[in-house]
Structure 1
Amino acid sequence: MNKFFRIFKKVILYTFSILLLLSVAGYIYLYVLPKGSEITATSKINVGIDSFVIHAYKDSERKSIKVWTYKPENWNNKDKIVFVMHGGGRNADDYLNAWVELANKNNLLIIAPEFENKFSRYTTNDYQEGNLFTFFGTKNPKSEWAYTVVENIFDHIKSVNNITNEQYDIFGHSAGGQFVHRMVMLMPESRIGTAIAANSGFYSLPNENLEFPYGIKNTETDLQKSYKKRLIILLGELDNDPSLGTFRTTDLAMEQGAHRLERGTNFYNANKELGNKNNWEFNWAIDTVKNIGHNYKKMSESAIKWIKTNPNNAAIQ
């Protein structure tokens, strides 16, 4: 019996040591070692499809980010700027291509950041959940939030291109929709004019007793300020098939609804009810698009009307 316990203790010790080693190695790889594409020379955005790579954080060179752009020939300073946030496939170039025709027709400068991650199938905290917390649950500084990276990119293009725009609009689909609605909730001081969150897989409910990302516990969210922002919950009428794309089926996610259409509706209603209860200004809206499912190209086309009617910017001619 004593021999059995000695062997058992050794197995436990070896297992713990291996897990500890893997955790330390994982932490160093994800949060210490520099990663990302090589920084490109600073230059103005060219007409047509272009890209550049900058440091993601202003106070650290540890991470870089590639940014795809599309600039119509007639775009000038003060014309509209739209950030386009990719889905879980991290395919920013595909999303950019989906907006080329829309950009030409409506004279929009498109900015599509690429939150590349080799382990994106296994971890979502770095992108659609904003990088508020590490994979191991510890808090990241606000300067390293994914939402702050968008603001940093805006500062960069303003500075390099002599742009004086004070605001930008932002569209995200699927995982990008998750990114957008959480950015509005968690960073209402951002310079977003109109935010459009399309076909999100699940949401951060306005519940201070529910752990993030399902709720807003420990996030210091100021919903009264968030509700003053213009957020559109854009839903596809046919996005009611959970087998499409990556669909989260945890217990807490399923409590939000059986599919994306239901979850988006429930999320909007919960926030609307809270805003009414507290008599707060509420500038959010919901729009269900007929005959469209989980399709980022079609949803992009449906987002244009909300960008056109942004009361905080000049209307598109």
Structure 2
Amino acid sequence: MNKALRILKKAVLWTLAFILLLVVTGLVYLYVLPKGPEVTEQTELSTGKGSFVMYAYENSKRKSIRVWTYKPANWKDQDKIVFVMHGGGRNADDYRDAWVELAEDNNLLIIAPEFENKFSHLTTNDYQEGNLFTFFKTKNSKSQWAYTVVENIFDHIKSVNSITNEQYDIFGHSAGGQFVHRMIMLMPESRIGTAVAANAGFYSFPDETLQFPYGLKNTEVKLQPNVKQAYNKRLVVLLGEMDNDPSLGTFRTTKLAMEQGKHRLERGSNFFRANKSLSEKNDWSFNWSIDTVKNVGHDYRKMSENSVKWINH
């Protein structure tokens, strides 16, 4: 009997030691070791397609990020800059390519950051949920938020290219739509002019009792003053009339997600309605809009085309 207990204790200790080793190894890999492609030389953006790699965070070389670009020949300082946020496939170059003709027709400088992650099929906290929390649910500093990275990229292209623009516009589809609407809510002080959140899979509702990312609980954001300030930003919730098939793309089906609606079209409508109702209840100004694109489903190219009128407006 004593021998059996000793064996059991050893097995438990070895198991705990193994789990601890896995956790420590994971922490070191994810949050200590440098990650990302090699940083490129700082040069001015070339006309046409291009890309560069920069450090994602200020005063840290722990993470780098590749940024895909398109610059029309006629683009000049003070013309519009549009950040294009990719979906869950993290295919920023494809999203950039989808905007080439739109950029030429409307003289837009396209900036498409690539939030690369080998384990993106296992975790979404680093991108569409803003990197507010680590994989282990501990809080990251605001300097490490994914939204801050966008602001850092804007500063970088301004300084390297002698650009004096004070604002940029931003479009995101699917996971990128999640990113955009959360950036408006969680970082309303950002320098976004017009934001278009298209076909997001689910939303962060203005509810301090709901756990993030479904609500705002456990974040630094409060209804007053943060969400009130977010309502002063120009956000367009862009929905596809035919984006009512949950089998398309990655669709979250947790209990809290399903309470938002049966599909993306319903969830987007409910999200907009909840925020509009909150603004009216508190007599806050409300600068958000909702637009449903006819005969379009979960298609980032067609949704991109239909977002330009809002960016140009």
- Normalising to structure 2: TM-score of the pair? 0.97
5+ long unaligned stretches in structure 2: none
Q: Are 2:254 and 1:266 equivalent residues in the alignment? A: no
What's 1:313 paired with?
none
Query: 1:253: which partner in 2?
Result: 257
Match of 1:134 in 2: 134
For residues 138 and 53 of structure 1, the distance between their equivalents in structure 2, rounded to whole angstroms, comes to 28
The offset of 1:3, in angstroms, is 4.2
Residue 162 of structure 2 corresponds to which residue in structure 1?
Answer: 162
When the two structures are aligned, how many residues end up with a matched partner? 309
Q: Deviations over 1:267-310 (max 9, x none)?
A: 1111111111111111111111110000000000010110011x
Residue number in structure 2 paired with 1:16: 16
Give me the identity figure in percent. Answer: 73
Structure 2 counterpart of 1:301, one-letter code: E
* Counterparts of 1:86 and 1:151, CA distance in 2: 16
Distance 1:4 1:278 in 2: 66
Shift of 1:8: 3.2
Q: How far did residue 14 of structure 1 move?
A: 2.0
Residues 72-127 of structure 1, C-alpha deviation per residue, up to 9 Å, x if partnerless? 01001010000000000010000000000000000000000000000000011110
Quote the residue 1:219 is aligned against.
219
Residues 1-317 of structure 1: matches in 2 within 5 Å?
Answer: 1-221=1-221, 222-309=226-313
**TM-score of the superposition, structure 1-length normalised?**
0.96
What is the aligned-residue RMSD (CA, Å)?
0.9
**Structure 1 counterpart of 2:278, which letter?**
L
CA distance in 1, matches of 2:35, 2:103: 31
Q: Give the unaligned 5+ runs of structure 1.
A: 310-317
Q: What whole-Å deviation, never above 9, does each CA across 1:46-88 have from its counterpart, x for those lacking one?
A: 0000010000001211000000000001001010000000000
Counterpart in the other structure of 1:314: none
List 4+ stretches of structure 1 deviating above 6 A: none
3-state secondary structure, aligned to 1:57: coil
Once the 2 structures are TM-superposed, how far is the Cα of residue 18 of structure 1 from its aligned partner? 1.2
Amino acid at match of 2:41: A
